[in-house]
Structure 1
């Protein structure tokens, strides 16, 4: 085994496959090692796509591979290479018009013509002589080649789209953990108490690329706890992101009562949020409280959804609590994916749904 990191998964994935992948990755030319596609791995080693995906994702997690995005011309019978980008650059290109110098036509840059590939960024810590010696022992052809498939596009990988826009760093998670620990005080004033939750909300939601936020917005009739701007607009956005534009409102309640669950938000917060959204262009509103929303709260949100369903101004009101913060911060669940789940549960009027019910079972649990 050239990459010692792969020894960690030989008892999880098929050992023959892991060894073969290790040798193949080690001996790929630098050019070929810049465009490793999951479908190509699956085809080459005759394994299921999900098995190849687990292998590649593990290599990425270990710092051996790095994810990149390649845009191809979308015109029929062309599919010429247009450019390669990192996540930050791609976000600004999606939905824009590109010009292909091969076919001489314009095309829209979208999820459908954006391929997910991986680049080898780390070589194994072994002598070159050992690699050459091992190559001589093997007879199989080493060339990998670029072998793209529709299965490698962003359009076929919705989880990758969410990860494109939301992937906090470890330092960001440390800051979120610190801000959550500060929610219980001690506080000198009620303003400090409210600010603690608002600061956490701003830190969490501004981890989404392309957004900005503040807790200083006042109108003639209301003060918004947090206003999150997402001024971008594109027909290629995932559903939840269409509701985030041009901005959305977060109402925060950092209160601890002595009876009952002790933290359930008053339904006046949902009525207040509904009134605020009715007076502006916000399509998405969130109540962030320490406790879970009551059945009455959920009913208010659902009725507002039904009333505005099919109109030019839909109204999606979601509830986040301490339990949700634990899922987002401790378990590092993708915020956009989780918001989409919350929205689906609202529109279904589902009372008992959990994220685990909808999680795709991996071929292997790595």
Structure 2
């Protein structure tokens, strides 16, 4: 009988394959424990790389494995660095120390390496060290291939700790208590928003001023990815925070659209194509009507998130990116169906 951790793979693998995977994990010690890849699992279990990708992603989700990122030069294929966080992946061009070429790292140059969190649940076997030689990234092991094969992109990029969820709940409670001046309350909502979006390792969020407007939160997407919600939001987006005790005005969404349209040079540019209204109270029905109209007219996607939705997200330890993706889908499809009840999303 296989280890209880692996029972979560039922539906992806049959019992024989799960047993074989447990045996494989148990055969690894030393550097091999930290060098599990899609291609190795696919070869061991005689399954497609796409299924192997989903298996390893599920193992990561249940806490059996963690993931690190091996970055190789696209020119000479030398290992440049291995990092544990997406935030540590270079997002600007730099010179490779091996071939001295100026390079820019993309998803196809990043190899995902999985490691067993607690190898005591498996039996030890033969040692194999981490491969530091110069070689091209194995295609099926790359970030690009894994995400295209259906790996849960949002789970990789948003996974707060229990302590971080506790802090989000604490900050939300401070907003609900309405202590202090209106300005102070607004700042608290802005602070919560900036803290929340900075928990995504490829986002940087801060309030900014332009010559004509103050933006409560500008989010920079440090790594352009052509997967899921990341392709929709682009390189940056604006968030406006509204802390009124009553239903916020529909005019707020129109104002956000106007700010973005102006930033885009009246439609001549594409600096920003995404925006969010975060409000303490739920927005009016006109929010969605205006957002759909905006999307159909110029492709700008605007969504609204209210306090109750944030509270539910924090309590259930949900995924912010799933929430954003669902909201964006509702606008783009002009959906009247509850996408959570339909089983398409959990958050």
Residue 116 of structure 1 is matched in structure 2 by: 112
1:92 pairs, out of 90, 100, 103, with 90
1:265 to 248, 273, 285: 248
Gaps of 5+ in 2: 265-270
Partner of 2:22: 22
Matches within 5 A, 1:220-235: 222-224=213-215, 226-230=216-220, 232=222
Does 2:171 match 1:182?
no
1:6 and 2:5 are equivalent in the alignment: yes
Structure 2 Cα separation of the partners of residues 285 and 10 of structure 1 = 37
CA distance in 2 between partners of 1:45 and 1:97 (Å): 39
Contact 2:339 2:345 survives alignment (8 Å): no
**Is it true that 1:248 corresponds to 2:201 in the alignment?**
no
Q: 1:354 to 1:112 in 2, by over 3 A?
A: same
Of 306, 317, 321, which residue of structure 2 is paired with 1:332?
317
Which residue is equivalent to 1:307? 297
- CA deviations over 1:181-219 (Å, ceiling 9, x no partner): 3333153543444344333222212223341323xx566
The TM-score, its normalising length taken from structure 1, stands at 0.70
Residue in 1 that maps onto 2:159: 167
Instruction: Give the Cα–Cα distance (whole angstroms) in 2 for the partners of residues 336 and 11 of structure 1.
Output: 26
Match of 1:202 among 194, 197, 200: 194
Q: Which residue of 2 aligns with 1:261?
A: none
Q: 2:144 aligns with which of 150, 155, 175?
A: 155
Please state whether the residue corresponding to 2:30 is helix, strand or coil: coil
Q: Equivalences for 1:64-79 in 2 at 5 Å?
A: 64-74=64-74
Larger Rg: 1
Aligned partner (choices 278, 283, 299) of residue 288 of structure 1: 278
Equivalents in 2 of 1:60, 1:219: separation in Å?
41
Normalised to the residue count of structure 2, the TM-score between the two structures is: 0.73
Q: In the aligned structure 1, how far is the partner of 2:111 from the partner of 2:182?
A: 50
8 Å Cα contact 1:39/1:152 also seen in 2? yes
Q: By how many angstroms is 1:319 displaced?
A: 0.7
Distance 1:61 1:249 in 2: 29
Which stretches in structure 1 are left out of the alignment for 5+ residues?
A: 136-140, 257-263, 310-314, 362-366
Q: Distance in 1 between matches of 2:26 and 2:304?
A: 48
- After TM superposition, the structure 1 = structure 2 runs for residues 135-154 of structure 1, keeping only pairs within 5 Å, are 150-154=139-143
Which residue of the partner structure matches residue 312 of structure 1?
none
Task: Name the count of aligned residue pairs.
Answer: 328
Q: Over aligned residues, Cα RMSD in angstroms?
A: 4.2
Which secondary structure state, in structure 1, belongs to the residue aligned with residue 114 of structure 2? strand
SS of match in other structure, 2:310: helix
